[in-house]
Structure 1
Amino acid sequence: MISYTRSVLLGGAFATLFAGAAFAQTSWDMPTPYGDGIFHTQNIRQFADDVDKATGGDLKITVHSANSLFGHAEIPDAVRDGLVPIGEFLLSRLANEDPLYGLDSIPFLASSYDASAKLWSVSRDEIAAKLAARGLTVLYAVPWPGQSLYLRKEVTEPAQFEGLAFRAYNVASERLAQLLGATPTQVEETDVATAFTTGRVEAMITSPSTGANAKAWDFVTHYIDVQAWLPNNVIVVNTEAFEALPEAQRNALREAAAAAETRGLEMSKAETAAKIGELEAGGMIVSKPTEAVAAKLQEVGKTMTAEWEAKAGASGQAVVEAFRNK
């Protein structure tokens, strides 16, 4: 058990509560993986400000961005173990522990913001229950822009994927390439530009944010906006720390979280539009998939969803069924 009547030293105290009628100011440290220029971090800083104002300064959250307090992979356990009371991480990073955590990263299951929101609404309770078993309470989630196709040539027919050297960086992207008839080619992120320039790869899938930041127009010509999946970042709080707060502060956290989830979704949509605009400004040809390509991608999505359901078992199948029927 973690005591919240003393400070936990890790760059400062994160929770100081005193018993009695009056509560002293509570200070929480919050690690996030991303830099201050990323919209997720900007949204979190607004969330922290909202909590500060709603509690009259009684609950203060100090945001530690860009892995400055904990590395991304360490954040879930750091919150669970009470080293910090609150944190942010990419939900699908936990998919090796339970397939349900990777639900939002199944290609072409939820290929739009509306579908992503629907998928989160039907899976949230199940995911929250699994995180609760780890001692974590879900506050809110915000999706990244959708993953889309970058190519060195125009592709209007599924057959044109056949034999293409397709960048693979994990098991899912390798399987995606195989189902498209492409040749999966392992390329690290730092080598992407060189791999395209030398012809070692001819296609990849990533977000418009990553593409724009990498100046993808220097090495590819076409962007097909397929939004294959929109992975969620999730913000969680240590359940024991949360329950130790006065009711008014718990309510303030919930209300600020609800506002952050709504605001974050709109920020993600704005990010998508802005970054696609940068790709166009850089000279790339931006398009939607043709009917034939869209049909092939949906076929791939059905196959990968079925493979995921086989791993996830009855609970995962029930969530997918609820999504399809909503």
Structure 2
Amino acid sequence: MIRIRLGQRITHAVLAAFLACGTAGHAARAGQTWTIASDHPADTAAGRGVESFVAALTRQTDGVLTGRAEFMAKAATKDPVAAVLDGNVQAVDVFAGALAHVDPIFELSTLPFAVRSEEESRRLACLAKPAYRRALLRAGLHLLFISPWPPTGLWSRQPVTTLADLANLRVRTYDDASAEVLGALGAHAAALPVQDVGSLLRNGHLDAVLSSGDGAVGITLQANLSNFNAIHYAFPVSFVVMSQSRYEALPEKLRPKLDAAANEAESQQWAALPARIRANDVQMQHAGVSVNTPIDNALDVRLREAGQNRVYDWLSRVPPEDADIIRTFQHQEAPAAQVPCPLSLLEAGRGTRE
């Protein structure tokens, strides 16, 4: 019976590989439309990245591969990794923090107060990209490109400038790590999907939201929260990924064209980030949102202490080569936003080589 079951599994695996190759061959001859899913709205940094990739995919592959963007997608929200591996979608945009269960390296861009500018965000992403690729590969995923987000702040009904202002606030965060950091300062914080935020705010179940407030998400927040506390908690990133087996099944001549489309989309995202941050600031001003930059020294100290404790915890859970990324990050200059990550950055530091 064991041999029969093993034989069936091998047969299914061989058949799946055959079908994947056949599908790729057909795509090369007749063209194929891929669904690229995101759990964020189209008018967000991640959404714009998906749209850029869709356009680049058609252009770089001469229409052999075309993309269809699907926003606020249930498949991307519930389990983006499974959605790709099961073939429900061909590629998916996934927030870095949502991959923390896959490997702690994906917590890197959301480490509190480690990054202070969009230039530093790009530098860290360049240094970490090989580690991201390796971790995704172990999960059966292929990294297409990294998509940056504007910095995250704390949206609230009332200004949050002191430790007392933060205590007992019901706060939505975007991952468990940020919930722990704010929880350590007395807030009632929980990681929740972005789709749930609007209804929870309207029903009075939330007092604050940790978010960049980018694009359409910002419009939702502005309708309920009149304060943006610019604490620059983190500069997170998203990843657009596909199945590694699907990538390998593509015709050899098609893969470089897919890579070119991904590189084009990533370069556009980094180049557009400063203007996107400015546009979000203007939108907040027009909506009458109060941007609270100065905060009480005691709150600042406690935030950074809680953040540093989170960094120490992360360092204790990652291998030395991943921990070295932070040290290298502190001593390398930022790359130009218009070009892919320079080889010198990718090779810098022990453990960051492909």
1:275, distance to aligned residue in structure 2 (A): 2.5
With over 3 angstroms needed to count, the CA separation of the structure-2 counterparts of 1:214 and 1:137, relative to structure 1, is same
1:30, distance to aligned residue in structure 2 (A): 2.2
Q: Report the count of equivalent residues.
A: 310
TM-score (norm 2): 0.74
TM-score (norm 1): 0.79
Does the residue aligned with 1:247 lie in a helix, a strand or coil? coil
Percent identical residues:
19
Which residue pairs with 1:58 in the alignment? 64
> Does structure 2 retain, via aligned residues, the 8 Å contact 1:161–1:182?
no
Q: Which of residues 141, 150, 165 in structure 2 aligns to 1:145?
A: 150
Does the residue aligned with 1:24 lie in a helix, a strand or coil? helix
Does the residue aligned with 1:235 lie in a helix, a strand or coil? strand
Task: Confirm or deny that 1:232 pairs with 2:240.
Answer: no
> Does structure 2 retain, via aligned residues, the 8 Å contact 1:80–1:134?
no
Letter of the structure 1 residue corresponding to residue 70 of structure 2: H
Which residue pairs with 1:246 in the alignment? 251
Matches within 5 A, 1:34-73: 34-67=40-73, 70-73=75-78
> Does structure 2 retain, via aligned residues, the 8 Å contact 1:28–1:85?
no
Q: Matches of 1:168 and 1:151 in 2, distance apart?
A: 10
Gaps of 5+ in 2: 1-12, 333-354
> Does structure 2 retain, via aligned residues, the 8 Å contact 1:39–1:267?
no
Q: Which of residues 179, 182, 187 in structure 2 aligns to 1:183?
A: 187
With over 3 angstroms needed to count, the CA separation of the structure-2 counterparts of 1:275 and 1:123, relative to structure 1, is same
With over 3 angstroms needed to count, the CA separation of the structure-2 counterparts of 1:319 and 1:183, relative to structure 1, is same
Q: Matches of 2:28 and 2:61 in 1, distance apart?
A: 12
Task: Confirm or deny that 1:17 pairs with 2:21.
Answer: no
With over 3 angstroms needed to count, the CA separation of the structure-2 counterparts of 1:277 and 1:193, relative to structure 1, is farther
1:299, distance to aligned residue in structure 2 (A): 3.4
Which residue pairs with 2:306 in the alignment? 300
> Does structure 2 retain, via aligned residues, the 8 Å contact 1:217–1:284?
no
> Does structure 1 retain, via aligned residues, the 8 Å contact 2:116–2:232?
yes
Task: Confirm or deny that 1:126 pairs with 2:135.
Answer: no
Q: Matches of 1:215 and 1:165 in 2, distance apart?
A: 16
With over 3 angstroms needed to count, the CA separation of the structure-2 counterparts of 1:4 and 1:53, relative to structure 1, is farther
Letter of the structure 2 residue corresponding to residue 73 of structure 1: K
Q: Matches of 1:307 and 1:106 in 2, distance apart?
A: 10
Matches within 5 A, 1:200-211: 201=207, 203-209=208-214
1:159, distance to aligned residue in structure 2 (A): 4.6
With over 3 angstroms needed to count, the CA separation of the structure-2 counterparts of 1:162 and 1:256, relative to structure 1, is closer
Gaps of 5+ in 1: 9-13
Q: Matches of 2:100 and 2:153 in 1, distance apart?
A: 21
Which residue pairs with 2:323 in the alignment? 317
1:6, distance to aligned residue in structure 2 (A): 4.0
Matches within 5 A, 1:152-191: 152-154=157-159, 158-161=162-165, 163=167, 165-169=169-173, 171-179=176-184, 181-184=185-188, 189=197, 190-191=199-200
